[in-house]
Chains A and B, each alone.
Chain A
């Protein structure tokens, strides 16, 4: 996690200062994901708070209600959590084995933060689903999820692609594509009871 460098005198002050610093760092990274540029902020000062917040939010919104039948419903909270984290770890291991020069936690950080557009899509979908169901409802959701999916991929490849040697870029990017595609599918097929 991003350590707050505290001088000895700071120990007497209350904890809100490093907390505010961490929150600001998380917010800054959210901005970097929303407006992807060539910048090293996500990589240099990695932290996993943002991905955790995003993953928990997404899993809470995606989980099926307890009234749903056990067999055929949408994913449970734990299933979404496992897919996101296990998928991110697998992709990170994959890019390490392909010879990428990015560290393990940096890669997890980037992949986690780039879920932000899809979380926004989930919120929008939930709001759209409050309206009456029908094909227009579905097309709107499809459009929103598709745009956010492309945004996530563009944002993450802007950070990850440079870390790979050129002849392996496609090999490293494809699992990222699959990862965000699966999350987008879960968001698109979410049906409330």
Chain B
């Protein structure tokens, strides 16, 4: 993109003015003009990072970069591409891996807490930690976070061989986008503890809106050149799979709050009969 090229030259200028603070950054820019400057001005890099580049091509990230990417996944700006804006040929696996790990435990723990709170007054309820759900959650989340990007990457490669696309993403970049787009589900999972159906569904809509739009805006440029129907079908599938993940997790890990109301209406015999018939 022409805008990106202009930014490269501007970064060069910034690096020159901050020469005293960042000698390493300036050195790399001067000696290798052909190399895309992966560094933001203000983040000094030591030579030891070269080994990190070779190690899975990841974890080249600083705290600020990871935080910036997380913020970018929470605030999708129309027209701005997450990959171009934040990843810039420097994908990291730290964010996706630990966001998925946190999400696994957030869902399992919140589900456990929510079930405990829903069934709190019942005499027959005995609290169980439901530890098995942790491994189920881990399988679901990690399978989604790795297999869907793999399938999408394969699909995009296949379409690229048929239609010349201006924009194409590497597998690590797709992995990175998917990982960061899952971040919004962590606070959503914690808020799902609230045992109100309406609140939960509003949260699902908000989370899906945010992370779905990040994904849609990222992948639209990659399929835009293609056949209209295939492009639309790809975006719709991406969003649908995302929705399936969130609704599935809500349904499986969090008990429905109506059961609470069902129990409290057993005061009179008539209502007991009604409750028995409707269950």
* A positions within 8 Å CB-CB of B: 68-69, 71-75, 79, 94, 97-99, 165, 167-171, 174-175, 178, 181-182, 185-186, 189-191
A98 near B94: Cβ-Cβ < 8 Å: yes
B118 at the A/B interface (Cβ < 8 Å)?
no
Q: Known contacts A97-B55, A178-B105, A182-B105: does B43 contact A167 (CB below 8 Å)?
A: yes
Does B63 sit at the interface, judged by CB under 8 A? yes
B272 contacts A by Cβ under 8 Å: no
Residues of B within 8 A of A165 (CB): 46
Q: What distance in Å separates the Cβ of A36 from its nearest Cβ neighbour in chain B? A: 24
Apart from A71-B132, A97-B59, 15 more pairs, CB < 8 Å: A72-B130, A97-B52, A97-B56, A99-B48, A165-B46, A167-B62, A168-B63, A175-B101, A185-B105, A186-B131, A189-B127, A189-B129, A191-B126, A191-B128, A191-B129
Residues of B within 8 Å of A, CB-based: how many? 29
Bound Cα distance from A74 to B56, whole angstroms: 36
CA distance A70 to B59 in the complex (A): 39
Task: Show 5 residue pairs from A and B whose CB-CB distance is below 8 angstroms, ordered by the A residue.
Answer: A97-B59, A98-B94, A186-B129, A189-B127, A191-B129
A79 to chain B, nearest CB (A): 7
Within the complex, what minimum Cβ distance (angstroms) separates B126 from chain A? 8
Inter-chain contacts of B135 with A (CB < 8 A): 79
Complex: A32 Cα to B15 Cα, angstroms: 45
- Tell me whether A98 and B59 are in contact (CB under 8 A): yes
Min distance, Cβ B228 to any Cβ of chain A, angstroms: 42
- Tell me the nearest residue of chain A to B131, going by C-beta: A75
> Is residue B217 within 8 Å, beta carbon to beta carbon, of the partner chain?
no
Residue numbers in B under 8 Å from A168 (CB-CB): 62-63
When distances are taken between beta carbons in the complex, the residues of chain A under 8 Å from B102 are 178
Q: How far is the CA of A99 from the CA of B53 in the complex (A)?
A: 11
Q: Which residues of chain A are near B127, meaning CB under 8 Å? A: 189, 191
Which residues does chain A contribute within 8 Å of B112, judged by CB atoms? 189
Which of chain A's residues have a CB closer than 8 A to the CB of B182?
Answer: none
Partner of A178, one of B43, B101, B126, B128: B101
Bound-complex Cα distance A190 to B64 (A): 38
Interface string of B56-97 (1 = CB under 8 A from A): 101101111010000000000000000000000000001000
Chain A CB count within 10 A is highest, among B59, B105, B130, for B59
Residues of B within 8 A of A181 (CB): 105
Sorted nearest first, the 6 A-B pairs with minimum C-beta distance are: A72-B128, A189-B129, A97-B59, A75-B131, A74-B129, A167-B62
